[in-house]
Amino acid sequence: MRGIFIVMEGPDGSGKTTQINLLKNYLEDRGMECILTREPGGTKIGEDLRSVILNPEYKEMSSVTEMLLYAACRAQLVHEVIGPALERGAVVISDRFVDSSIVYQGIARGLGIKTVSDINEPGIGIYKPDKVLFIDISEKEGLQRKVQQKKLDRIEQEGIEFHHMISEGYRKILLGREDVITFDGEQDIDTLHQEIIECIDHLLER
């Protein structure tokens, strides 16, 4: 039986990583094999490319180069990790997937939703998410959290207008989609976690 593919999406600083780790612990406590992945990265090739994509010294990187590097990371991740895990029946939780590229490169970088979707299609193939969990948060709140956490990477260093386009872009492509469940990212961690596991329990029951 094929496994379940869950993707966590949201603007920078939305708290995705915290919620992903809490969800992984919850599922493993239920005796399920749970594989975590992240984008960009998740494989040796992908992690090497991640260091290039997010390096704040590479400010000259073109939007097209950025889009293609993300697509290459994703294709390797599907080939090496996501596909095999789903085929053996595991639950896969990915910190971002193709919707991130559609928002960041397609909308915020202005390359176009169809262009980004078409570039990524060969690498994704049949492995589409069963559920996308979208943690919605304002760009101002997200950036404030990021500044407090660590040194900002190349994408995080973009200006407030860029991050505003990210927040609006997510809402544009995700709200109303049947495979997407939206959560308020400004709730406290425990409340948000409880809402997420209720959603996942319902998915597992089906």
The encoded tokens of residue 66 equal 């950025």
Q: Give the chain's domains with CATH numbers.
A: 4-205 (3.40.50.300)
* Range scoring the smallest mean pLDDT among 8-12, 21-25, 96-100: 8-12
- Which residue, among 63, 12, 40, has the nearest Cα to 167 in the 3D structure? 12
User: How much is the pLDDT for 123?
Assistant: 98
User: How much is the pLDDT for 142?
Assistant: 62
3-state SS assignment for residue 129: coil
pLDDT at residue 140 greater than cutoff 90? no
**What length does the chain have?**
206
- Rounded to a whole number of angstroms, the CA Rg of the chain reads 16
Query: Whole-prediction pTM value?
Result: 0.93
**The tokens 């599907």 sit on which residue?**
78
Q: Which residues pair with 39 in a beta bridge?
A: none
How sure is the predictor about 1, in pLDDT bands with cuts at 50, 70 and 90? confident
| Cα separation, 62 vs 55, whole angstroms | 13
User: How much is the pLDDT for 159?
Assistant: 87
Find the DSSP H helices in the chain.
16-29, 44-53, 63-77, 83-87, 98-101, 113-124, 139-149, 160-174, 189-205
**pLDDT digits 0-9 by tens, 63-86:** 999 999 999 999 999 999 999 999
Element (H, E) at 189: helix 189-205
